[in-house]
Chains A and B, each alone.
Chain A
Amino acid sequence: KQEVTQIPAALSVPEGENLVLNCSFTDSAIYNLQWFRQDPGKGLTSLLLIQSSQREQTSGRLNASLDKSSGRSTLYIAASQPGDSATYLCAVGKAAGNKLTFGGGTRVLVKP
């Protein structure tokens, strides 16, 4: 059974600092990996999708890497802003239906 872990559960950084969020998974036979953002009381917003054949994806200040052999993905957010404060979730997709297994999330606070 796939297990997805995100450590730390929470972190606080000053504005302008780069954010590094970690995601690890136990079964390397994944279909894809997706990063989401969730604001309090809201739904999930898709940030980046990395297919199993890819090593990284970039969108603006966001960059996500994937190392299947070691079971890890890292989300980098450059030059953090207070508006980046949210919970970030990673999810690993299984083929045949793209069923996602989620990590517990990392709650991020960017202080002005």
Chain B
Amino acid sequence: DAGITQSPRHKVTETGTPVTLRCHQTENHRYMYWYRQDPGHGLRLIHYSYGVKDTDKGEVSDGYSVSRSKTEDFLLTLESATSSQTSVYFCAISESRRDGDTQYFGPGTRLTVL
């Protein structure tokens, strides 16, 4: 939906290494989000962006940073990956229409930190 792609789709890395996940959208939506999904915790917001270079923290932002230098790309970086960051990461956009603001999600990135 809404032309959202995420890369990579799967990644295995080692503790202490930096990791960058990419979210790309094709429809110039202003708002973009990063969530993580974990058993027992559901989906939780990590960071979000409300425009180029405009970002803010979500509920679980510790250990993560984000950047948005172009409207279409929102990057999530784990500066030094830890095993607790093993998760499925979802990117989303918010599409504003007359009937409301609907969030659409990308396919997800499964990250394993060994």
| Chain A residues within CB distance 8 Å of chain B | 31-32, 34, 36, 42-46, 49-51, 89, 91, 93, 97-105
Contacts and interface: CB of A to CB of B under 8 A. Distances in A.
Interface residues of B, number: 25
Interface stretch (B13-21, B42-50, B62-70, B71-79): B42-50
B58 interface: yes
A31 B102 CA distance: 11
Contact of B1 (A45, A91, A99): A45
B103 interface: yes
Given A43-B108, A97-B56, A105 B42 contact: yes
B56 A43 contact: no
B105 A32 contact: no
A46 B104 contact: yes
B90 A98 contact: no
